[in-house]
């Protein structure tokens, strides 16, 4: 307990170092702070270290990279979902953090560059790409019309095209609104959001099938996409809470984003922690009950060696603990506690992805590598740098949005 | 706390807008009134704080009952499937955790939901079939487009002439004194 207090105090000191300033009239940054520069350095160092790792052990590199890539694109995709939802429901409370979430999703087109290593490493990651394996495997032969290299690449391009078009459409209109507000701009964003939401659901589902589920091409679970979606939204919410809290700590966000917004973000985080467990359990229950070998092997694989420990810890740590820790209202309104829970949920999210992807790489047990950390730092650094660059380039809030005043005065 | 409190008299005042109502509620609280209520056709943000309402204890009651529902559902399934009438179902153990979860989940939600509804009614001291407010002709408009404050005679600060005068000074109109007939 004492050490927790000390670590919170240290965190508080880092946060309260005022190095970021916001002009109160235009809401533009007069001092952008040093987060972007730190992130860029971490990103470059991380990617360089990972490149060294690639020479050492390319198999480990590709798996580490895939987990790290999916972890970070989750934050951006969650932000895309959040924006679509914001416009679709004409939400007013989230207007004050709209620029923040827009900046998070603005990284999506850049992630297309960062997925290239995954495409280069397909042969190491996905064993359905091995022609000799497919030749002796009846199931893979029948799945070949879907699981083949050209179609896989076409789909990757398609997913990024859909996500990027939606992102551009929303950000472009948001920029137009900054110059001069017209009601038609919000109406147009709403119009994009309805089909956008459906496209998002389809593309995210199939992207999770392609990138994660096809690591074990024999296994199938139709709920897998929803399960991944819950994680995607959790990542985004946790990241947003951290970013909001960071700016609150800097004094830049006072009176704009308050405890009320953080409370609501905390409620959503709590809700989607439950939804994650609901989906994860639904997937498990049906497979456990039917007990069919072509489905159960996926869980049996995660019951081998030290994976077993992780399989037991995951539901408790990803659902049980946060359920209790986020249940009371006071927990969601306490800034430091919520910040800690947001970091914790990001860690859990990483653990979940690791648990999904890594048993294919090391079936005998957990084999944690330094490349897992370096790829996370590399992609994460670049992600935060791009996000921060976009965010600090304009106003921190949509200044001309008629919902802004309502949002700033928002009470739960 | 008596379940049904006797209220003989109520003073009713009408206000022009939600903003006026909010301000008036604030002043009522500052003046020290406790047994008063605001009536509006829709939810007004910040009204709870203006009236000085505390957080409802309902959440804790619901949590307690939900926990009981959870344990009850687990116990019921354990006793029926593993103790009283053990039966092998699709080769699973008598006490098979995953199979019990849907029932546990559903019963937890059910007890929580029922407790929330029944608890809300009980804490609001409902149902109440008689109230002096019902004798007002104007009061029906509260669900339509009017905003009211009512002060019940059970309030310690209740003084018919004084309270009515105070309501007038904070912007109340059409002040009525209603008696339970």
Q: Which stretches of chain A sit within 8 Å of chain B by CB?
A: 281, 284-285, 288-289, 291, 327, 329, 411
Å from B172 to nearest chain A CA?
Answer: 27
pLDDT band at B1 (very low <50, low <70, confident <90, very high): very low
What are the φ and ψ backbone dihedral angles of B173, each rounded to 5 degrees?
A: -125, 165
- Give the integer Cα–Cα distance in Å for A112 and A129: 21
The verdict on a CB contact (< 8 Å) between A291 and B98 is: no
User: Shortest CB distance from A284 goes to which of B90, B92, B98?
Assistant: B98
- Give the integer Cα–Cα distance in Å for A209 and B127: 54
Q: Are A261 and A244 in contact (CB under 8 A)?
A: yes
Among chain B residues, the shortest Cα distance to A291 is held by: B90
Q: Is B90's Cβ below 8 Å from some Cβ in A?
A: yes
If you average pLDDT over residues B76-101, what whole number do you get?
Answer: 91
The verdict on a CB contact (< 8 Å) between B101 and A281 is: yes
If you average pLDDT over residues B41-58, what whole number do you get?
Answer: 88
Q: Are B33 and B155 in contact (CB under 8 A)?
A: yes
The verdict on a CB contact (< 8 Å) between B98 and A288 is: yes
Q: Is B93's Cβ below 8 Å from some Cβ in A?
A: no
If you average pLDDT over residues A64-74, what whole number do you get?
Answer: 96
Q: Are A152 and A123 in contact (CB under 8 A)?
A: no
The predicted pLDDT at position B7 comes to: 73
Q: Compute chain A's Rg from CA coordinates.
A: 22
User: Shortest CB distance from A411 goes to which of B45, B90, B101?
Assistant: B45
Q: Is B45's Cβ below 8 Å from some Cβ in A?
A: yes
Residue in B22, B45, B64, B112 to test binding to A, most A beta-carbons within 10 Å:
B45
- Highest mean pLDDT: which of A234-243, B25-34, B149-158? A234-243
- pLDDT of A100 higher than 50: yes
Of residues A285, A356, A358, A312, the one with CA closest to residue A61:
A358
Share of chain A above pLDDT 70, in %: 95
Å from B58 to nearest chain A CA?
Answer: 13
- Give the integer Cα–Cα distance in Å for A333 and A245: 12
Residue in A289, A406, A409 to test binding to B, most B beta-carbons within 10 Å:
A289
The pLDDT tens digits of the residues spanning A225-256 come to 999 999 999 999 999 999 999 888 877 788 88
Among chain A residues, the shortest Cα distance to B96 is held by: A289
Burial of A312 (C-beta count, 10 Å sphere; 0-12/13-18/19+): exposed
Q: A291 contacts in B (CB within 8 Å)? A: 90-91
- Sheet of B173-179, strand order: B36-39, B147-152, B9-15, B173-179
- Give the integer Cα–Cα distance in Å for A220 and A365: 22
What are the φ and ψ backbone dihedral angles of B13, each rounded to 5 degrees?
A: -130, 145
The predicted pLDDT at position A1 comes to: 45
If you average pLDDT over residues A308-321, what whole number do you get?
Answer: 96
Q: Are B180 and B9 in contact (CB under 8 A)?
A: yes
Q: Is B88's Cβ below 8 Å from some Cβ in A?
A: no
Least confidently predicted of A297-311, B56-70, B132-146: B132-146
- pLDDT of A121 higher than 60: yes
- Give the integer Cα–Cα distance in Å for B52 and A149: 65
The predicted pLDDT at position A5 comes to: 54
Distances (CA, A) of A395 to A189, A307, A398, B65, B139: 19, 47, 7, 48, 49
- pLDDT of B124 higher than 70: yes
- pLDDT of A6 higher than 70: no
- pLDDT of B181 higher than 80: no
pLDDT band at B121 (very low <50, low <70, confident <90, very high): very high
Asked if the bond preceding B127 is cis, omega within 30° of 0, the reply is: yes
- Give the integer Cα–Cα distance in Å for B93 and B87: 9
- Give the integer Cα–Cα distance in Å for A23 and A68: 36
| Mean pLDDT of the residues in chain A | 91
The pLDDT tens digits of the residues spanning A280-294 come to 999 999 999 999 999
Burial of B153 (C-beta count, 10 Å sphere; 0-12/13-18/19+): buried
pLDDT band at B8 (very low <50, low <70, confident <90, very high): confident
- Give the integer Cα–Cα distance in Å for A146 and A378: 32
The predicted pLDDT at position B131 comes to: 84
Among chain B residues, the shortest Cα distance to A330 is held by: B55
Distances (CA, A) of B39 to A302, A326, B139, B140: 58, 34, 9, 10
- Give the integer Cα–Cα distance in Å for A342 and A328: 16
The complex scores an ipTM of 0.78
Q: A329 contacts in B (CB within 8 Å)? A: 55, 59
The predicted pLDDT at position A12 comes to: 52
The predicted pLDDT at position A8 comes to: 54
Query: Domain boundaries in chain B?
Result: 58-123
Å from A285 to nearest chain B CA?
Answer: 6
- pLDDT of A13 higher than 50: no
- Give the integer Cα–Cα distance in Å for B104 and A131: 48
3-state helix, strand, coil in chain B (%, to 5): 50, 15, 35
If you average pLDDT over residues A170-185, what whole number do you get?
Answer: 91
The predicted pLDDT at position B5 comes to: 61
The pLDDT tens digits of the residues spanning A102-115 come to 999 999 999 999 99
The verdict on a CB contact (< 8 Å) between B98 and A329 is: no
- pLDDT of A154 higher than 50: yes
Q: B92 contacts in A (CB within 8 Å)? A: 289
The verdict on a CB contact (< 8 Å) between B91 and A291 is: yes
């Amino acid at each position: 307990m004492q050490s927790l207090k000390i670590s919170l105090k240290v965190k508080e000191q880092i946060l309260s170092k005022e190095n970021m300033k916001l002009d109160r009239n235009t809401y533009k940054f007069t001092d952008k702070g040093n987060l972007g520069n730190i992130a860029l350095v971490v990103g470059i160092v991380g990617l360089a270290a990972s490149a060294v790792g690639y020479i050492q052990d390319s198999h480990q590199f590709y798996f580490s990279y895939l987990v790290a890539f999916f972890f970070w694109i989750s934050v951006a995709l969650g932000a895309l979902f959040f924006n679509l939802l914001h416009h679709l429901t004409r939400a007013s409370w989230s207007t004050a953090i709209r620029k923040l979430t827009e900046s998070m999703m603005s990284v999506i087109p850049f992630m297309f560059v960062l997925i290239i290593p995954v495409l280069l490493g397909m042969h190491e990651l996905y064993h359905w790409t091995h022609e000799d394996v497919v030749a002796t495997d009846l199931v893979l032969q029948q799945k070949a019309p879907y699981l083949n290299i050209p179609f896989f690449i076409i789909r990757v391009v398609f997913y990024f095209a859909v996500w990027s078009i939606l992102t551009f459409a929303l950000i472009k209109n948001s920029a137009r609104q900054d110059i001069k507000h017209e009601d038609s701009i919000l109406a147009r964003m709403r119009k994009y959001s309805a089909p956008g939401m459906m496209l998002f659901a389809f593309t995210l589902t199939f992207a999770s099938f392609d990138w994660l589920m096809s690591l074990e091409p024999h296994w199938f679970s139709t709920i897998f996409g929803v399960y991944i979606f819950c994680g995607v939204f959790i990542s985004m919410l946790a990241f947003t809470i951290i970013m909001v809290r960071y700016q609150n700590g800097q004094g830049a966000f006072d009176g704009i984003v308050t405890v009320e917004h953080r409370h609501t973000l905390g409620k959503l985080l709590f809700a989607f922690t439950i939804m994650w467990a609901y989906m994860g359990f639904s997937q498990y229950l049906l497979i456990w009950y039917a007990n069919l070998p072509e489905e159960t092997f996926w869980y049996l694989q995660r019951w081998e060696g030290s994976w077993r420990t992780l399989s037991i810890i995951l539901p408790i740590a990803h659902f049980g603990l946060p359920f209790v820790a986020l249940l009371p209202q006071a927990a969601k309104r306490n800034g430091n506690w919520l910040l800690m829970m947001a970091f914790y949920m990001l860690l859990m999210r990483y653990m979940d992805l690791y648990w999904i992807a890594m048993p294919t790489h090391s079936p005998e047990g957990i084999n944690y590598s330094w490349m897992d950390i370096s790829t996370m730092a590399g992609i994460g650094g670049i992600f935060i740098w791009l996000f921060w660059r976009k965010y600090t380039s304009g106003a921190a809030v949509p200044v001309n949005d008629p919902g802004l005043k309502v949002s700033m005065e928002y009470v739960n | 706390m008596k379940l049904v409190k006797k209220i003989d008299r109520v003073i009713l005042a009408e206000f022009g807008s939600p903003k006026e109502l909010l301000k008036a509620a604030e002043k009522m609280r500052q003046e020290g009134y406790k047994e008063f209520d605001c009536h509006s056709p829709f939810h007004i943000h910040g009204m709870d704080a203006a009236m000085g309402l505390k957080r409802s204890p309902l959440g804790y009651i619901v949590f307690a009952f939900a926990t009981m529902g959870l344990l009850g559902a687990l116990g019921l399934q354990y006793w029926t499937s593993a103790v009283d009438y053990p039966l092998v179902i699709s080769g699973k153990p008598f006490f098979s955790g995953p199979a019990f979860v849907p029932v546990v989940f559903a019963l937890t939600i059910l007890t929580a939901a029922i407790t929330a509804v029944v608890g809300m009614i009980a804490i609001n001291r409902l149902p109440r079939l008689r109230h002096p407010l019902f004798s007002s002709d104007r009061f029906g408009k509260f669900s339509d487009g009017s905003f009211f404050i009512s002060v019940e005679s059970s309030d310690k600060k209740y003084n018919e002439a004084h309270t009515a005068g105070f309501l007038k000074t904070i912007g109340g109109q059409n002040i009525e004194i209603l008696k339970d007939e």
